[in-house]
Amino acid sequence: MLNNIKLGQYLHGNSWYYRLDPRAKLIMSVLFIVTIFLATNWVTYLGATIFTLAIVLTSRVSLKFFFRSIKPIFFLMLLTFFMNLFFNKTGKSFSPIYIKINQIMAGTFAIILALLIILRLSKVIKKHISGKIFKFSTLLIIIMNLVLVYLFSFEQYTWSFKWIVYKNAVINGGFIVLRLVLIISFSSLLTFTTKPTDLTLAIEKVLGPLKLIKLPVSELALMISISLRFIPTLLEETQKILKAQTSRGADFTEGNLKDKVVQIISLLIPMFIISFRRAEDLANAMEARGYIPGKKRTSLKELKWQYRDSLYSFSFVVLTLFLIYYR
């Protein structure tokens, strides 16, 4: 599961987007996150979606990496959409949805849920009852209840609810989900196509004017770059520790709450030790190369703003004017 997380990881490639000045990519990514909130209707969202798809598809970065970036917040997007359906009561309403809950079925599911919790927490039951037998019995109970409810209506034992869904709730929920997808896709494209060293230099150049108010821009840019760089490294180390713990008999899916807390602690302690060790190695390496905080440094690579960077920036100006005109 941790291997599917691609946050902060640079992917080797060769396309026009890779060759852009990192300052242009950084500034336009931030500008896109701001301007996407100007979209308020289907015309503006359609324009923003086509613009994002055009850049993503021509960047030659595989779409599977974008799906992996969106996957961790899929539940959040789904929850946001349904929250809009329940609490947004503006616009035209659709036909009411009548929900019927049979009390016998509800009671049966409650009993099954209680049994599942007891089975999960009790080690004695696990020794005497096979998991397959328990699952088969549970499925049999559910099927029997469905048959009984179908044969006998039990109307006197039924709760009825009326749920009214409004048009604006569906539209606004869809817009919020689409906005999150576009923002994550564009932000991921920045880290996918920009090397950490180039990103550090771009942040330092963009925040350069803040040096006038004595802000340590170079150190701030370096910290941001190191943080992004070590996210995939620490995730890889976590995966190695999980495999090592599993090979020694640890099972992070079994046991009660107390056992899981102990298992998580056994995972966190090695992670902290590895993180501190890597930080110490990095500090020694930087010191051996003559890095002194606050001192003026030169860069091996000098950024050059070219014609394609201006053309790329102009496309964002066009997108912003389009969103403002049609919102």
Residue 255 CA, chain-centre distance (Å), reads: 28
Cα separation, 149 vs 143, in Å, equals 10
- pLDDT confidence of residue 52: 92
Q: Is this prediction's pTM over 0.75?
A: no
Cα separation, 135 vs 130, in Å, equals 9
CA distances from 47 to 42, 43, 90, 322 (A): 8, 6, 25, 8
Residue for token pair 């992917």: 11
- pLDDT confidence of residue 49: 92
SS3 102: strand
Over its length of 327 residues, how does the chain's per-residue pLDDT go in tens digits?
445 555 557 788 888 999 898 889 989 999 999 999 888 888 999 999 999 999 999 988 888 888 888 887 888 888 888 888 777 777 777 666 655 566 666 666 777 667 666 666 555 555 555 556 666 666 776 677 666 666 655 555 566 666 677 788 888 888 999 999 999 998 888 888 888 778 878 887 887 787 778 777 777 777 877 777 777 777 778 778 878 877 777 666 665 666 666 777 777 788 888 888 888 888 888 888 777 776 776 666 777 888 989 999 999 999 999 999 887
Contacts of 133 (CB under 8 A, 6+ apart): none
- β-bridge mates for residue 166, sequence order: 93
- pLDDT confidence of residue 145: 66
Q: What H or E segment, with its residue span, contains residue 30?
A: helix 22-35
- pLDDT confidence of residue 128: 53
Nearest to 77 by CA among 194, 184, 197, 154: 184
275-304 burial code (b ≥16 CB/10 A, e <16): eeeeeeeeeeeeeeeeeeeeeeeeeeeebe
Q: How many CB atoms lie within 10 A of CB 92?
A: 7
